[in-house]
Structure 1
Amino acid sequence: MVFVLAPLLLLLLSGSSPVVRAADHGDGYYTTVATSSLKPNAIVCLGHRVTPPANRSWVPVDLAHGPCSSSLDAAAPSVTELLHRDQLRADDVQKRLSNNGTDNNEAPGQAPTSESDAYGKAKIKVRYGSRKPSMSTQADSELSVVHPAATTGSGGAGALLPGVVQTVVLDTASDVAWVQCVPCPIPPCHPQQDSFYDPTNSGSYAAFPCNSPACTQLGPYANGCVNGQCQYRVTYPDGSSTSGTYSSDLLTLNPTSSVNNFQFGCSHADQGSFDPQAAGIMALGGGPESLASQTSSTYGKVFSYCLPPSPSYLGFFILGDARVASSRYAVTPLLRDPRAPATFYRVLLRAIVVAGKKLDVPATAFAAGAVMDSRTAITRLPPTAYRALRAAFMTSMRMYRTAPPKGILDTCYDFTGVRSVRLPKITLVFDRDAAVQLDPSGVLYNDCLAFAANKNDAMPGIIGNVQQQTIEVVYDVAGGAVAFRRNAC
């Protein structure tokens, strides 16, 4: 997919140029939202606010611990714990970037790390493996269609049905996909909502031999050889890990879209804290092991997602071209640096506009670029940019009572008794004038300004998933671009 936009069209996303009209502080630069809309509806899943784009690989996205989630009985962690884990995640992403893909502190053979906790993150349901028609059940009806592609494998000849549902977390900053596999005793494996994937029940499962190209390609994620089968291991900052057999099987996205011989980690041992709502991770990074890379010949190394504004709604994930008018997108190029890990998708943030006024931040403050990450929640900014944003936001919000900080969030408000809030519109302006106005749900997190500062301006920023809410984010990896479409879900 290739995006071609004139610079003027890019600004259609915000309705007008935020820079040209910077002196105007009228109501056009504010939005009033009900305070109740800033909280999830704890009872009812409201589905999709916007009809998702028609696409054969479309999959619904839900957020953990809400009425649209697959499991409502799992206790959500506290805001303090969520923010703590989010900081671990951000620290790790920045560590890997600052080391240019290497980490001299890692033990030999230990893979680069990524924060293990999946609480509050975007999840999709897919199916791993295949079954003979005689093994189907009425509960499988939503995907009980024969896949002609799954007609061969260790299970013998004949048409096969999709395997077991597995809930996996979308992760744009990791490369190795994995799910828990039988045998997987608890502990060391973690409980999960879905039935465990059992490779012995799949007619299309295969473990990679130790001398196979797929095993060699694992690089730092390789973990030796057991009974002639390739082993993998992924470790995390808090000491958690997942390990098992590197394998392939049929991956079914929906009744009309599947991936043959999908390569993933068949985890037989998890150590540490993992979310019981998820069976594993769907890696979407730029490395060769990710879903995007494995399916590049079919889907052009293009994928997109739209994260809903709260757990009360559904979003979507699409593998391949979204096939909508390119003029509806703001497009910015991906930053290319051969020294940086291929995993990350980096963009250049050039300016921030608050209530129609461009912040007075020198371009040098943004020079380190920013990583697009589906799992980091809070956007991290250079301190120079964050201080300017915080000051402008506080000026616009001076009519409301302030509240004590919450973890990394230092600009919080007490909306007790307040029925609606007048929020300043915030627009992130990326390279080539790609202006992206944030949804109100992307401005506040738990009644606090949903941004935080890095330790210094030299550190790369992170565009977190809170700011991405309701925006379709398209990763055109082959075309070297990231595109944004507002009000998509």
Structure 2
Amino acid sequence: MKVSTFPPLFLLLLIISLSGSCRLGTHAAADHHGHELEDLMVVATSSLEHTARDAAVCSGHKVMPSGDGVRWVPMNRPHGPCSSSPAVMEEDTIDDMLKWDQLRTSYIRRKLSGGGGGAGEDVNSDTTTSGVSEKNGMGVTAVNLGDAKCAAPAPTQSLEEASMTVVMPAARQTMVIDTSSDITWVQCLPCPFPQCHTQKDPFYDPAQSTTYAAIPCGSPACTRLGTAYGNGCSASNNQCRYAVDYGDGTATAGTYITDTLTLSAAIVVEHFQFGCSHAVKGSFSDQTAGVLALGGGAQSLLAQTAKDFGNAFSYCVPLPSSLGFLSLGGPVGASSRFARTPLIRNKRAPTFYIVRLEAITVAGKRLRVPPAAFEAGAVMDSSAVVTQLPPPAYAALRAAFRTAMAAYGPLASPVRNLDTCYDFTRFTNNVTLPKVSLVFAGGAAVLDLDAPSLMLDGCLAFAPTPGGGAHGSSVGFIGNVQQQTYEVLYDVGGGSVGFRRAAC
């Protein structure tokens, strides 16, 4: 397919429709290169004509979330049949989404290498605002904050990102989950425009919660913010201030407070520490109230609930027509339901979760990639869009994929950092794709990629990392396009990451 001006999430759903038929078709490409039929997947080209609005039925997740079966909340994509948001979407291109993705991942690489980044920018200054919007296509969920006496009316707006709803008793909040940040925050009254953006839910108002408490300057909680997130104190009331710069054109700043966080009847966190945001920079997801942080740092939701829920969590990134979930806890230690790989932590940047690829297979054949190419590892990131591979690994994948797809040439124009794109509109019957699998360290954990996890708007949904050279290694990313439909378990206490196929 050629690049269009359709919203990125529409294109993602379009590719999902492309994978709707897995029966063998009549296209002759199935065995042109000697591939076994089980190493190929065939989809109907006509499925490309479907739109997000054609999928009228929301299908639930396929398995019971991990843990004890009760500590989980639903997660969905915006605008699909599983979302309560309006069907109207802004005309954002996939190029916008990939631009944001490159900025975000470059910033994380700098953090992993000991580079800068932190709370230094003034998010109220017009000179620091950016046109870059956070567009990752990840799921959203709902939560509640506080002990509600009443709630302010919610402004009208449209949702652009997948989210989840977190409930702090004072207000129900729809939030994006992020495994590569540590500070949870919501927009918080007073929150004037344009420093704040419109959102789907009522703004959280600490004055309406009987369980709200300010965090004073000099307290251990305020001191732990350090230089990365600390932003001084309020001169008027000695209240701790925080700031987060995401390095992609977005940032948030406000006061640091506590309240009761309720995700479900089984997940209630008293005295939860989070940011009460009075100003944002850049454009965060429309209708989402903020970010639910699940990184490895001391301030994250995981760290604050580790003793109660076993220092583990899992999620399943859904397709737009399906329901996903976020689960706290999980089957820590040995579990036959998950194929596992070791979790690697970086002492300079404990926020990030790193795994190591061992091999890549295309149409059943293992690619010849020097083991050293994978040495730097890859960040497991809920918000990164496409998977980024070190140059030697990406070059091998691209060559094998293009060879298997020779019948669909010539190549279409690249889309930003996606350089293996096809115009499938010239083919009226079926499209045959080679099966691609990512094999992680230890060999037991494998991501077998379905069509929606392989192609994005007609392009191979992989990109090379910007560093590493022809033979070197650079930190990669496992994007949420490739994570779709798998339950991904972060067993931080047990030191592993696990995968369970077809969970949502």
TM-score (norm 1): 0.83
Give distance in 2, aligned partners of 1:123 and 1:419. Answer: 36
Q: Secondary structure at the match of 1:298?
A: helix
Cα drift, residue 118 of structure 1: 4.2
Q: Which moves more between the two structures, 365-374 or 455-464?
A: 455-464
Q: In structure 1, give the amino acid aligned to 2:352.
A: F
- Over the residues paired in the alignment, what is the CA RMSD in angstroms? 2.6
Give distance in 2, aligned partners of 1:448 and 1:222. Answer: 41
Q: Which runs of 4+ in 1 moved over 4 A?
A: 35-40, 105-111, 134-137, 322-325
- Whether contact under 8 Å (1:118, 1:278) holds in the other structure is no
Cα drift, residue 421 of structure 1: 2.2
Q: Which moves more between the two structures, 296-305 or 23-32?
A: 23-32
Quick check: 1:329 aligned with 2:338? yes
Cα drift, residue 45 of structure 1: 4.4
Cα drift, residue 321 of structure 1: 1.1
Q: Secondary structure at the match of 2:252?
A: strand
Q: Secondary structure at the match of 1:183?
A: coil
5 Å-filtered alignment, 1:39-438, equals: 41-43=52-54, 44-53=56-65, 55-72=69-86, 73-99=88-114, 102-103=115-116, 117-132=134-149, 162-219=169-226, 220-226=228-234, 227-308=237-318, 310-322=319-331, 326-338=335-347, 340-401=348-409, 402-416=411-425, 417-433=427-443, 434-438=445-449
Give distance in 2, aligned partners of 1:390 and 1:116. Answer: 29
Give distance in 2, aligned partners of 1:359 and 1:238. Answer: 33
Give distance in 2, aligned partners of 1:36 and 1:179. Answer: 42
Unaligned residue ranges in structure 2 (runs of 5+): 1-32, 124-131, 154-166
Give distance in 2, aligned partners of 1:135 and 1:407. Answer: 43
- Whether contact under 8 Å (1:381, 1:453) holds in the other structure is yes
Q: Which moves more between the two structures, 40-49 or 59-68?
A: 40-49
Q: Which moves more between the two structures, 118-127 or 174-183?
A: 118-127
Residue 150 (structure 1) aligns with: none
Closer, same or farther in 2 for the Cα pair 1:464/1:175, shift >3 Å?
A: same
Cα drift, residue 292 of structure 1: 0.6
Cα drift, residue 349 of structure 1: 0.6
Cα drift, residue 311 of structure 1: 1.6
Q: Which moves more between the two structures, 119-128 or 44-53?
A: 44-53
Q: Secondary structure at the match of 1:42?
A: helix
User: For this pair of structures, how many residues does the alignment match?
Assistant: 436
- Whether contact under 8 Å (1:302, 1:478) holds in the other structure is yes
- Whether contact under 8 Å (2:345, 2:352) holds in the other structure is no
Q: In structure 2, give the amino acid aligned to 1:79.
A: I
Cα drift, residue 435 of structure 1: 2.3
Closer, same or farther in 2 for the Cα pair 1:186/1:453, shift >3 Å?
A: same
Give distance in 2, aligned partners of 1:267 and 1:161. Answer: 15
Q: Secondary structure at the match of 2:142?
A: strand
Q: Deviations over 1:389-423 (max 9, x none)?
A: 01111111122243211111110111114443222
- Whether contact under 8 Å (1:45, 1:67) holds in the other structure is yes
Residue 17 (structure 1) aligns with: none
- Whether contact under 8 Å (1:109, 1:223) holds in the other structure is no
Give distance in 2, aligned partners of 1:180 and 1:107. Answer: 17
- Whether contact under 8 Å (1:40, 1:311) holds in the other structure is no
Residue 152 (structure 1) aligns with: none
Q: Deviations over 1:141-163 (max 9, x none)?
A: xxxxxxxxxxxxxxxxxxx9933
Cα drift, residue 26 of structure 1: 0.7
Give distance in 1, aligned partners of 2:108 and 2:58. Answer: 33
Give distance in 2, aligned partners of 1:328 and 1:24. Answer: 34
Q: Deviations over 1:212-245 (max 9, x none)?
A: 1111111121111111110001123354321111
Q: Secondary structure at the match of 1:452?
A: strand
Closer, same or farther in 2 for the Cα pair 1:60/1:161, shift >3 Å?
A: closer
Give distance in 1, aligned partners of 2:152 and 2:188. Answer: 20
Closer, same or farther in 2 for the Cα pair 1:94/1:110, shift >3 Å?
A: farther
1:471 to 486, 498, 502: 486
Q: In structure 2, give the amino acid aligned to 1:406.
A: V
Closer, same or farther in 2 for the Cα pair 1:161/1:384, shift >3 Å?
A: closer
Cα drift, residue 328 of structure 1: 2.6
Q: Deviations over 1:28-48 (max 9, x none)?
A: 111223346676632524232
Give distance in 2, aligned partners of 1:272 and 1:246. Answer: 21
- Whether contact under 8 Å (2:389, 2:462) holds in the other structure is yes
Closer, same or farther in 2 for the Cα pair 1:95/1:40, shift >3 Å?
A: farther
Q: In structure 1, give the amino acid aligned to 2:230.
A: A
Cα drift, residue 452 of structure 1: 0.1
Closer, same or farther in 2 for the Cα pair 1:161/1:481, shift >3 Å?
A: closer
Give distance in 2, aligned partners of 1:135 and 1:406. Answer: 44
- Whether contact under 8 Å (1:178, 1:281) holds in the other structure is yes
- Whether contact under 8 Å (2:76, 2:139) holds in the other structure is yes
Cα drift, residue 185 of structure 1: 1.1
Q: Deviations over 1:230-278 (max 9, x none)?
A: 0001123354321111011111112332111111100011122122131
Cα drift, residue 200 of structure 1: 0.8
Cα drift, residue 443 of structure 1: 0.5
Give distance in 1, aligned partners of 2:46 and 2:185. Answer: 37
Task: Give percent identity, aligned residues only.
Answer: 50
Unaligned residue ranges in structure 1 (runs of 5+): 1-22, 138-159
